[in-house]
Structure 1
Amino acid sequence: MTAAHAGHSVAHFNKTIAMTIFRPGAEHAALDDFPDAHRRLLTLGVGLFPILRKDEKVWLEIPRAMLNKPFLFTINISSSIGERGFYASQMGPEIMAEWRRIGNTIQLVALNTEFRAEGGGKRAGEEAFSPSLLAAGPVASADHPERKAFLVDAGLLLSDIPGMSTRLEMAYRLPYNVDRGNSYFELTRADEKLTTLNAKVHYFTPRIPAPPLVAPPVPVPTPPQATPDPRSMFMGFVYNFRALPEEKMSPRRADGRLGHFTETFTDLSDDLKANPRVHYINRWRLEKKDPAAALSEPVEPITYWMDKNIPPKYRAAVEAGILEWNKAFEKIGFKDAVVAKQQPDDADWDNMDASHASIRWFVARTWASPSGRAMSIRAPARSWTPTSA
């Protein structure tokens, strides 16, 4: 295998980053400079999309069978700047996505689930409403002869997929951009149903404008106050690729008289409907071990993990608050439907992946006290929510 080097100039830091890329056509088996552990990783096929890592470089292995096959793609915010709505431990978008290969380019595409149709109207619906491109990059290797899979540079995720540059400009009226050369992956992990990458993305603006000599007619936002240098900030994103469940849940229509979080879309299958909008409630997959019993434990409980960033003195109170929900579930026939677990302080896994519902702690510059936030993940279009790992 040969490697090419491309210089990437970053004006803000006036430095050049050398990036090594694969030449399309190189075989997986020819990665002679990779440690044996990495070659074994590819041999064993660990992960929904197996991860290959060498130094600061990260690759994803995409099986041919997973092209054009939907999966759940989520983005959570693990770290931020602590002001003006930019807080850590926040949930980001949950997207039905798929990989598409166009020649030697791989695309991560967000599917349009806002408009749907079955039967004779399906083709017209697909033609009418476009999907969106989230990220793209070159294919980094030829297909592995046995695994029928190829590599892509995971660096395509080190871009502004969450759209933070626009949010930053709205908050500060300054043009912040992604500095790809100083963005990187902190952690990566994978199992057969999930691939997770923790990215640290650097945003910067070349300069902060001097304040006007005369007061402007309308107030001007101040630059960021919570960073050492307002020109530079890092934000942490947790990217999750989660396989959809093989067994679908039966959807349940929402009732406007009851309070539920809902999944809403436009159903164009029947053009005679007066109102094509459909509302399904977001549900947990909660099933009784003994369907005939008036009160039964669930097959799998709703498990909330208390993150290790919760101060120890508050953990008992947080746990009690979680378990208080069991009183409500008992009224519909479930015993111990909700379980609280504490993430060990030395855990090397992150509660922000798509396999854990969690309670996390976060603080902010403009708030008088810390706050907690509950997080869970739902799969659009499937009316399905994973519970615990």
Structure 2
Amino acid sequence: MKTRLPLLLLFYFILSNVLAQTPPTIATFTAGMSRNPGFLTYYWDAKKGKIWLEISQFNTELLYYPTLAQGIGSNDIGLDRGRLGQEHVVTFQRSGNKVLLIEPNYAYRAISPDPLERRAVEESFAKSVHAGFEIVAEEGDNVLVDLTPFLLQDAVGAVQSIAQIKQGTYKLDPSRCALHLPRTKAFPKNTEFETIITLTGEQPGAYLREVVPTPTAVTMHQHHSFVQLPPLNGTIQSGTIQSGTIQSGPDAYQPRAFDPRIGYGGIEFFDYATPVSQPIMKRYISRHRLQKKNPSAAISEAVNPIVYYMDPGAPEPIRSALMEGAGWWNQAFEAAGFRDAFQVKLLPPDADPMDVRYNLIQWVHRSTRGWSYGMSIIDPRTGEILKGKVTLGSLRVRQDYLIAQGLVGKFDTDSSHVGEMMQMSLDRLRQLAAHEVGHTLGLPHNYLASTQGGGTGTPERFGRASVMDYPTMVAKVKGASIDLSDAYAKGIGIYDKWSIRYGYEQFTPGANEKQELDKIVRDMHSAGLSFLTDQDARPEGSVHPGTHLWDNGANAVDELRRVMDVRRVALTNFTDRKIPAGTPMAMLEDVFVPMYLFHRYQVEAVAKVLGGQSYTNALRGDGQPVVSTVPAAEQNRALDALLATLDPAFLAVPPTVLSLIPPRPFRYDANPREVFKRHTGLAFDPLGPPEAAVGMTLRMLLNPERCARLVRQKSLDGKLPGLNDVFTKLHNALLKTLTAQQPDYAGEIARQTERLYLDQLLKLATNKDIDGSVRATAHEALSQAKAHYSSSATSGSRYDYHRWLIAQYMQFPDRMVSAPAQSPPDGAPIDPGQEWLLPACDWEGR
């Protein structure tokens, strides 16, 4: 008995340790918790405030992406309601008592049936582990892990966004974070989790102080989505889509090859199984899955139509206008052979907008007007669009109404012209909705469209080939008034039909898809249409004379002349009746700004003609023109048109306006972002608008890259204008106005313009980061100016400053600090440049 007792105690000791190390069953562990079955089943532990995730499938790929469910409300920061984060293909992998959430590297692949070839690529590049979880319970092949720490993180990178825009240094405060159960749900094909996230910091910037009640504590809702991915089966041999399938079955999604001649976003990756004689980089377009019920029919209904749901939070009549504009895309899908394949419906009351099954058009509020976005959740493996997400800023329509107010408003009564102004604003919203939905269908901008094609009842010269351009209203002069009846196009553009055909047309069984796609592009070119996008249009020094934002017309110079005529009529008609009775008179300036600068975007378009080159995304052998320099006569016409915008008579603010704008009253922002900056304190500065307009023209005209092209084109063809020619013509035009002006308002505008021109020359001559030939030419122009200002014809005291400034440059060139012109009020975007910091999407907000 004495020997049995120690053995028995040892047995019980070993057994208790074994039992202590064995995880309990999931049913035992989750007793009393709320079970939520779905794509990923989870349990809510109300006592501990935790989410426990049940994992039943390992090594199975799914899609994970974060979203900002409730934003900050500042366009400048960009953390808006509905903002999508980056998609990640992930798998759960078990190792002992631990589960890792691993992202494979789909940027590098080997599309090959050989598993060893695929493994060689897989082992050559890094993966990413997003999280690790300890197993707390298991039952059969299922395990339970604590998902809460993963969810309570800054998944959308709000800390980095705030720091990037210089709004303060913030960090996540775990004590102020929690799960948000009303928006945490499990669906058949996706499971959604939402959290309340709080960031804390000191010294918040002005943008944060504007929109956060206590800006040292920024609280938002972040959302986590786990989505079922379509199964992959089979291979794409040698990277050619025709020789195999990436999915199996009659409803399989087939990737489609990208063609640079027609615009589509999508995915790209290296395929190391590609023969050496073929490109290793593979590019697929992004598109929704769409198939005909009858593949052999010319026009057929879709197996599953593409349905977009409208946020019911948008008020009427805005909601109906947005739904109508979005619905224009059905015209394009009909051209691609589908009947009623694109539909727009109101989001049902019981539908969750975060559910991946709903393509969503969302109405978003901010403290300032700003960008609208069209984004998509795509399968990074194939390019298939799983969910389209449109974000439309609610203040946009108010800016359009303000512009209409300046053009045609006449408040003899509070209702005068309101219908006309509202109609133009709603027409713009229809186009905006179509534009942003277009992005979610896979389409980028096409900034050539405003120079090509026509529209119903629209003169050919106004273009309108695509809703994927950035349009400005076509305001027409009729006698002494302005007509807005044809301000915006109505319906889808002709280019849009070709682009949807390329992305979605289903070819008859047995057809050669590559040849059919090439025929679509060639036929599009034969119709006089082509494609260029953001990289061709957004930089101020960009090359192509037809790619621009917010322009109209086949000829930029002719359109500037026409727009200047509209501006003349608008300023002539500008009175206090542009605002309703009872409105503070100072608010008249808000309406005046877009009228005075009505030519601002067309100026930039015309500047691209000077030193410009027309080109296409041509492929060898496709017959397209490749690249050609804009003819000399057209470049000189562009320079003359730009010089006309520097004339004091054009720049002068009408005396009637000067007598109507007082300082802003109490409790109204004294220096709002969208009025003219001033050197005169609270008083309206009569030289402020001319300074902004002149600085804008000179900045566009004398862009360093444009200047470099002018130097080079002259060396290649002496008939083309060179940079010296531009400086000479510019100086002579400014000198003519100077000598003609007396010491009055127009004369002061002329002298200010001359000073701004000299400052621009100094900037070019002293900037060591630009082309040496440009600096040398600017130096020569300054030397000639010095000689001119020293001559007897300009010996008066009015030129003392010019002589002194140039002398300072000649003596101390490295010490010169140029005095830039006051920038114009914010125009297309609020805080220009921020769009480049956002994910690949759209940015729009004139």
- Which TM class, normalised by the smaller chain length? 0.7 to 0.9
Is residue 263 from structure 1 mapped to residue 267 from structure 2 by the alignment? yes
Note the residue ranges of structure 1 that are not aligned, 5 or more in a row: 1-22, 210-220
The letter for the 2-side match of 1:160 is D
Whether the 8 Å contact between 2:267 and 2:382 is mirrored in structure 1 is: no
Is residue 71 from structure 1 mapped to residue 55 from structure 2 by the alignment? no
Whether the 8 Å contact between 2:30 and 2:43 is mirrored in structure 1 is: no
What is the CA deviation profile of residues 53-83 of structure 1, one whole-angstrom value per residue up to 9, with x for unaligned ones? 13232111101xx212111112222112122
Equivalent of 1:329 in 328, 333, 341:
333
Note closer, same or farther for the CA distance 1:154–1:309 as it changes in structure 2 (3 Å cut): farther
Is residue 242 from structure 1 mapped to residue 227 from structure 2 by the alignment? yes
Question: Aligned partners of 1:86 and 1:24: how far apart in 2?
Answer: 45
Equivalent of 1:201 in 197, 200, 220:
197
Question: Aligned partners of 2:73 and 2:22: how far apart in 1?
Answer: 42
Is residue 27 from structure 1 mapped to residue 25 from structure 2 by the alignment? yes
Offset, 1:30: 1.4
Question: Aligned partners of 1:149 and 1:308: how far apart in 2?
Answer: 40
Question: Aligned partners of 2:289 and 2:379: how far apart in 1?
Answer: 12
Whether the 8 Å contact between 1:172 and 1:224 is mirrored in structure 2 is: no
Equivalent of 1:110 in 89, 103, 108:
103
Equivalent of 2:185 in 182, 189, 206:
189
Question: Aligned partners of 2:312 and 2:295: how far apart in 1?
Answer: 36
Note closer, same or farther for the CA distance 1:33–1:97 as it changes in structure 2 (3 Å cut): closer
Equivalent of 1:307 in 308, 311, 333:
311
Partner of 1:292: 296
Partner of 2:155: 161
TM-score, structure 2 length as denominator? 0.38
Question: Aligned partners of 2:387 and 2:165: how far apart in 1?
Answer: 35
Whether the 8 Å contact between 1:89 and 1:373 is mirrored in structure 2 is: no
Secondary structure of the structure 1 residue equivalent to 2:162:
helix
Whether the 8 Å contact between 1:361 and 1:373 is mirrored in structure 2 is: no
Question: Aligned partners of 2:376 and 2:357: how far apart in 1?
Answer: 9
Equivalent of 1:127 in 101, 111, 123:
123
Question: Aligned partners of 1:24 and 1:60: how far apart in 2?
Answer: 19
Offset, 1:33: 4.8
The letter for the 1-side match of 2:323 is E
Offset, 1:168: 2.1
Partner of 1:20: none
Offset, 1:298: 0.5
What is the CA deviation profile of residues 241-267 of structure 1, one whole-angstrom value per residue up to 9, with x for unaligned ones? 111123541211101111111211111
The letter for the 2-side match of 1:189 is K
Give the number of the structure whose residues are more often strand, by fraction: 1
Whether the 8 Å contact between 2:67 and 2:156 is mirrored in structure 1 is: no
What is the CA deviation profile of residues 198-225 of structure 1, one whole-angstrom value per residue up to 9, with x for unaligned ones? 22222222x338xxxxxxxxxxx64722
Partner of 1:384: 384
What is the CA deviation profile of residues 86-117 of structure 1, one whole-angstrom value per residue up to 9, with x for unaligned ones? 21121221111111223333222222111112
Equivalent of 1:342 in 343, 346, 370:
346
Offset, 1:292: 2.5
- CA RMSD between the two structures: 2.5
Offset, 1:127: 1.9
Question: Aligned partners of 2:198 and 2:259: how far apart in 1?
Answer: 44
What is the CA deviation profile of residues 129-182 of structure 1, one whole-angstrom value per residue up to 9, with x for unaligned ones? 1111222332232x114xx21111121221133333222222226332222232
In our comparison, the structure showing a higher alpha carbon Rg is 2
Whether the 8 Å contact between 2:42 and 2:53 is mirrored in structure 1 is: yes
Is residue 227 from structure 1 mapped to residue 212 from structure 2 by the alignment? yes
TM-score, structure 1 length as denominator? 0.79
The letter for the 2-side match of 1:95 is H
Partner of 1:101: 94
Question: Aligned partners of 2:118 and 2:274: how far apart in 1?
Answer: 10
Question: Aligned partners of 1:350 and 1:236: how far apart in 2?
Answer: 15
Secondary structure of the structure 1 residue equivalent to 2:292:
coil
Note closer, same or farther for the CA distance 1:159–1:362 as it changes in structure 2 (3 Å cut): same
Partner of 1:281: 285
Secondary structure of the structure 2 residue equivalent to 1:72:
strand
% identical equivalent positions: 29
Give runs of aligned pairs for residues 355-370 of structure 1, distance below 5 A: 355-367=357-369
Is residue 91 from structure 1 mapped to residue 76 from structure 2 by the alignment? no
Task: Identify the structure with bigger relative contact order (alpha carbons < 8 Å, sequence gap 6+).
Answer: 1
Partner of 1:217: none
Whether the 8 Å contact between 2:333 and 2:339 is mirrored in structure 1 is: yes
Larger deviation: 173-182 or 109-118?
173-182
Question: Aligned partners of 1:104 and 1:174: how far apart in 2?
Answer: 41
Note the residue ranges of structure 2 that are not aligned, 5 or more in a row: 1-20, 232-246, 389-846
Secondary structure of the structure 2 residue equivalent to 1:258:
coil
Secondary structure of the structure 1 residue equivalent to 2:184:
strand
Is residue 254 from structure 1 mapped to residue 258 from structure 2 by the alignment? yes
Partner of 1:17: none
Give the number of the structure whose residues are more often helix, by fraction: 2
Secondary structure of the structure 1 residue equivalent to 2:288:
coil
Whether the 8 Å contact between 1:74 and 1:354 is mirrored in structure 2 is: no
Offset, 1:228: 1.6
